[in-house]
Amino acid sequence: MTGVRALNVAVLGADDPLGTAFLRLLSERDVEFGEVFPLTLAETEGCATVRGEELPLLDVVGFDWSRVDVLVNASRAVAAELSERTAADAGCRILGLGRGAAGIARVSVEGALAIALQRVLAPVQAGAGLRAVNAVAMLPVAVAGEAGIAELAGQTRALFAMETVEPEAFPLQIAFNLIPQVGAVQADGGSHLEQDTAGELRQLLDNRDLAVSVTAVWAPMFYGAGVAVHASVAGDLDLESMRARFADLPGVTLMDTAVPGGVATPATDAQDSDAVFVSRVRAGADARHDLAMWLVFDVTTLEAARLVDGLENLIEK
């Protein structure tokens, strides 16, 4: 890139877990960029670390978008969509998860749930042919940002102290609870995250006709996610062959023993790992054509890596 000005990058949600992970990974990669502007939606003071330098968090309200070339949106907050639109109007290129603000030019990257499912289901599709996928995902509060983490921690302390709790980041109490409603429910009964995951998985697997059902559930976990997966295959199911494929698959760790504790869990295995852990591989209701398994992964690590890859692609263009 000799003789070409390096691109300046704004990171919205730099104080959230995904933004922090993105900046950490960006600092570790050999990516050529100019200035970095860490932005926050919250009224907070603090700093973000970029290649060993502490940079003050900047309020996105009133930010001068002419200072940057690319906005990386690492926030799932609804308010972030307005910032995307404002930045796009100022001529910035936009990179983010999911669908983002409507009606603007945007580079969208897949979420961690679709990435993890594709990584494990690709060899299933190659070996037996996928007909349908049903996934129930237990998502950690880190997906809701720093506010989600603070709410789970605060509610847990309050309930132990016999105090009442008032939900803010989530629609209901999250401590010691499950909430089967991640985001606003649409007319068809699904949420944007569930719909996006189904579409992203079809695209990643290059299988437009694949029947995909996703149920996303907020769970009282800080970082790791767990997913119960049931896949219907066209060919005859060979469990030992599937286990052998998973054992040799890059980015996948097979933990599937019958001894107590011989399975992956979000708290003990997922955090800060870029692997997808596979456990409980077994036949489903139809022993010949149904595959069941349990997946565990770190949402923020997988999504941060995808965002960094996306930024590298933008810089190289």
Instruction: Give 110-161 pLDDT, tens digit per residue.
Output: 999 999 999 999 999 998 899 999 999 999 999 999 999 999 999 999 999 9
Judgement on whether residues 104 and 134 belong to the same structural domain of the protein:
no
Average pLDDT over residues 216-240: 95
**125, 260: one domain:** yes
Could you give the CA distance from residue 153 to residue 143 in angstroms, rounded to a whole number?
15
**Is 145 part of a structural domain of the chain?**
no
Same structural domain, 117 and 224: yes
Domain holding 234, by residue range, is 112-140+178-299
Instruction: Quickly state the pLDDT bin for 1 (edges 50, 70, 90).
Output: very low
Model confidence at 44: pLDDT above 80:
no
CATH number, domain of 42, equals: 3.40.50.720
**Residue/partner pairs of 44-48 with CB below 8 Å, 24 or more apart:** 44/15, 46/15, 48/11, 48/14, 48/15, 48/19, 48/20, 48/23
Specify the CATH number for the domain of residue 212: 3.30.360.10
75, 136: one domain: no
Q: Tell me: do 41 and 17 sit in the same domain.
A: yes
What per-residue confidence (pLDDT) applies to 4?
Answer: 60
> What predicted TM-score, i.e. pTM, was given to this entire model?
0.92
Look at residue 186 and tell me if it is in a domain: yes
Task: Give me the pLDDT at residue 253, please.
Answer: 96
The pairing of beta strand 276-283 with beta strand 290-298: antiparallel
186 and 288 co-located in one domain: yes
Model pLDDT, residue 259: 84
Q: Are strands 58-59 and 36-40 parallel, antiparallel or unpaired?
A: parallel
Which position has the token pair 């941060």?
304
Look up residue 16 and give its two tokens.
């959230």
Residue 292 in this model has a pLDDT that exceeds 50? yes
Instruction: Examine residue 19 and state whether it is found in any structural domain, yes or no.
Output: yes
